[in-house]
Amino acid sequence: MARGYDTEEMREKLIDALSKSKTGLTGIEIAEKLRVNRVTMSKYLKFFAAESLIQQKSIGSVNLWFIEKGVDQLSFPADLFHVKNRYLEYVMSASSHEAHNLIRTSLHSGANPSKLVNEVIVSAIDAVENSYKNGKIGKSEKNLLDEIISSSIYLIKLSEKEVNSKKNIVIISTDYQNSLLAQAASSAFQTEEWKVSLLGDMSSAIDVLFDIDLQRFLNKVWAKREGIMVVAIFSSTEGAIKFFSQAVDASREKFGKNLYLALCSKIAKKPKVNADFVSDDLETLLQWSQTVFESSQN
């Protein structure tokens, strides 16, 4: 971007100008309205078009700029509830373009990335799952909507910060059903500077040698034993929780007191395992993990 102009300020002014125009504006008109050099404005327009904030359409011999659908002026945290409802509407109607633009706009408008995951993304995951369980949508449609959410999670993940080598977490899903939630957790932790190892659906790893496999993996990703290591398990079945929990428990003697086990499950009957944290709430998991890390530094 050209010197002398603030990108965020220019983004706000551009959204405001195009939002007020139903017929679109030419590049020259935008430059005049925003009082910016035409060449400089052209660079901004290309930049924001690449971000899917605006789009150009040819109307006859004239090239006009329009704001993309789903893009709006937002203010956080005040508009978080508004974004939550609108995002869910876009997802349930399979409007992927609008859903993704809303996430981009939220991030550009200063939304806390982990709050977007906890309040917006997780809510949509639950809504899609409930619609499927209640027979309102079929498996094919569920997979489509899950993919829209997965792409949204990736957009949030792009806003991640530099990782803190002392904040380590391995995230495991014991089945396909929890994979998307585990992916959301991965994104939330990465935006909070955690070094994340997302293993995805590990249902195929249920065998007698998994505890050895897990220890080998921990040796690689946590070789220096700096800070803490949290192993978070996302599961919906008691048997899978017990299996993976026992594998983590077997590693405690080797890796020491700074290895923690966290369970995220919505099953009514809580399994009797030696876990340090048990909850079905992602935000609570994030807060607990941060508290454990801070305590370990004292």
| Residue 90 lies inside a defined structural domain of this protein | yes
Q: Residue 34 maps to which CATH number? A: 1.10.10.10
Six token digits for residue 53: 């904030």
**Are 56 and 49 contacting, i.e. CB atoms less than 8 angstroms apart?**
yes
* 215 and 150 in a common domain: no
| Residue 2 lies inside a defined structural domain of this protein | no
Q: Residue 122 maps to which CATH number? A: 1.10.1240.10
Q: How confident is the model at residue 1 (pLDDT cuts 50, 70, 90)?
A: very low
The one-letter code for the residue type at 34 is L
Helices (H), ranges, the chain: 7-19, 27-34, 38-50, 80-92, 96-108, 113-115, 122-133, 139-157, 179-190, 210-221, 238-255, 282-296
* 234 and 204 in a common domain: yes
pLDDT at 73: 64
* 250 and 196 in a common domain: yes
| pLDDT exceeds cutoff 80 at 71 | no
Mean pLDDT over 177-182 rounds to 94
Full residue range of the structural domain in which residue 18 is found = 7-67
Six token digits for residue 201: 């659906």
**Tens digit of pLDDT for each residue in 8-25?**
778 778 888 887 777 888
pTM for the full predicted model: 0.78
| pLDDT exceeds cutoff 70 at 105 | yes
* 259 and 194 in a common domain: yes
Number of structural domains, the chain? 3
| Residue 267 lies inside a defined structural domain of this protein | yes
* 86 and 61 in a common domain: no
Comparing CA positions, the residue from 284, 280, 258 lying closest to residue 270 is 280
| pLDDT exceeds cutoff 60 at 3 | no
Comparing CA positions, the residue from 282, 277, 285, 275 lying closest to residue 244 is 275
| Residue 1 lies inside a defined structural domain of this protein | no
* 279 and 178 in a common domain: yes
**Tens digit of pLDDT for each residue in 121-158?**
999 999 999 999 999 999 999 999 999 999 999 999 88
| pLDDT exceeds cutoff 50 at 2 | no
* 176 and 250 in a common domain: yes
* 183 and 147 in a common domain: no
| pLDDT exceeds cutoff 60 at 29 | yes
| Residue 72 lies inside a defined structural domain of this protein | no
Mean pLDDT over 83-105 rounds to 92
Say which residue the tokens 């959410």 belong to.
149
| pLDDT exceeds cutoff 60 at 220 | yes
* 213 and 283 in a common domain: yes
Q: Which of 157, 182, 209 is the last residue of a domain?
A: 157
